[in-house]
Structure 1
Amino acid sequence: MVDVLPLVEARLNSALGEPDARASVTFLGADRIEVLRFQEGDVVRYATLGMSAHPMSDPTAMVADPIEGPRAELVLSVRAGVTDTGPVLRPLAVLAASPQVEGVIVAPGASLDVGKPLWPGAPFTSVLVGEPGGLVEDLELDAPLDPVRFLPLLPMTPNEAAWKRVHGAGALQERWLTHGTDLRDPNRASVPLGPSPE
């Protein structure tokens, strides 16, 4: 059985450079999750390493498939030097462990809620899972393994998360685009939310 994680780390390093810090978190009943920190200019990126060691399986399946199924890691980008976002490491590890611990499949368009601020004083308690392929390209694995997808996380304020539940991920992303929202600003306010655009 191929060890996926060294290949994943190599892909992250080739796309983002060498990490300047890393932390690991272990949860009961789950493998260790590492979070790597990369800084490029005024942007800090946090990437999980460990989520893709096993495929995500349908929570309704009687037995998890150890080979086939979607694999992913999570990437969060924030502006550096604005506030201390370092404590986001543990919430990210919690989200990355959720497929193993809770049997969920993390996919683009999903909302993930950690139930508390992503870091002290953060106006966000949840994230929207974005589309992969922009920052870090998918990592193809030998058949029958699914590729590893690197999913960007977009922090949402509670109001945005509530609006997204009603109107959908696409409508919220359209709002962000229309208003020129800086999704990397760790202190940003909620985007103006009114009726769903036609």
Structure 2
Amino acid sequence: MSDILATVRARLDEHFAGVGISAEPVAASVTFLGAESIDVLRYGPDRDGVYHYVSLGCSRHAMADPTDMMADPTTGPRAEVVLALRGPTPTGLARSIAVVAAAPAVEGLVLGADALVDLETPLWDPVLPPGRSAPAPRRTPFTAVLLGVSDIGDVELAAPLESVTVLSATPITATEAAWVRLKGAEAMREAWRVDGVDVLNPARPAAQPR
């Protein structure tokens, strides 16, 4: 593990220990053709039954717009993403988080607060309601994530490197993604607040913004 990733990992361990999660996280590694692997660490559950899934690998390189000929590949912004969900880990979630985290290296995407990352495919396999094993439920509607500011502080790196920002990633539906494109990220969050939407529920219905 590079010094940067080791520093980020130490900060993550410190943060989650501070909220009562002291157990070693479960780790999954995802590899993409032509790109370095991305680890996804699962911390939790916390006292509310929430698991926190954090990428580790996006921050090994600075992000830069591929069309920006003056971008500094050393001192540009760096990021990781954290996605929180209540209950058992949905199948396929780790890979989706890794896809988001690998987007800067694979697609030249610069991750930042209020950015919408649309995978255009379900983020995880369908979640069965409690006590139900068949028939298969409807396909999960979540196909994108809305990035925001997480409660994990920035990870300071040795100068001249910029700090690593850990961005929250909230799963959203195709309908909600369209709303974000039309009205903006904060309008979507306000609609969730007004409607009492629990964004930590992997089986929640899609919000119906007005």
Q: Secondary structure at the match of 1:139?
A: coil
Aligned to 2:196: 180
Residue-by-residue CA offset, 1:132-178 (whole Å, 9 max, x unaligned): 4x1x1111112211110110001111111111110111111111111
Query: 2:13 maps to what in 1?
Result: 13
Residue identity opposite 2:36 in structure 1 = D
- Letter of the aligned partner of 2:63 in structure 1? M
In structure 2, distance between residues paired with 1:178 and 1:145: 40
1:137 aligns with 2:153: yes
Residue equivalent to 2:133? none
- 1:55 pairs with 37, 62, 68, which one? 62
Q: What is the distance in 1 between the residues matched to 2:118 and 2:68?
A: 24
Q: Following TM superposition, by how much is the alpha carbon of 1:66 offset from its aligned partner in structure 2, in angstroms?
A: 3.0
SS in 1 for 2:149: coil
In structure 1, the residue matched to 2:125 is 120
Q: Following the alignment from structure 2 to structure 1, what is the Cα–Cα distance between the partners of residues 95 and 206? A: 24
SS of 2:165 mapped into structure 1: strand
* 1:169 aligned partner: 185
* 1:70 correspondence with 2:86: no
3-state secondary structure, aligned to 2:105: helix
With structure 2 as the length reference, what TM-score do the two structures score?
Answer: 0.85
Q: 2:70 and 2:54 mapped to 1: Cα distance?
A: 29
Show structure 2 runs of 5+ residues with no match: 17-21, 127-139
Deviation digits for residues 79-113 of structure 1, max 9, x if unmatched?
014xx414201111111111001111011111111
Residue in 2 aligned with 1:92? 97
Cα distance in 2 between the residues matched to 1:86 and 1:153: 17
* Alignment match, 1:34: 39
| Inter-partner Cα distance in structure 2 for 1:148 and 1:111 | 19
Question: Once the two structures are aligned, what percentage of the paired residues are identical?
Answer: 44
TM-score, length of structure 1 as denominator length = 0.90
> Segments of 4+ in structure 1 off by > 3 A?
17-20
Please state how far the C-alpha of 1:63 moved relative to its aligned partner.
Answer: 7.1
| Residue type of the alignment partner of 1:124 | F
**Offset at 1:190?**
1.6
Letter in 1 for 2:198: D
Residue correspondences, number: 189
Q: Which amino acid aligns with 2:122?
A: P
SS in 2 for 1:28: coil
Answer yes or no: is the 8 Å Cα contact 1:57–1:103 preserved in 2: yes
Secondary structure (helix, strand or coil) at the match of 2:192 reads: helix
Secondary structure of the corresponding residue to residue 164 of structure 1: helix
Contact 1:19 1:36 in 2 (8 A): no
Query: Structure 2 CA distance, aligned partners of 1:48 and 1:103?
Result: 17
Segments of 5+ residues of structure 1 without an aligned counterpart are none
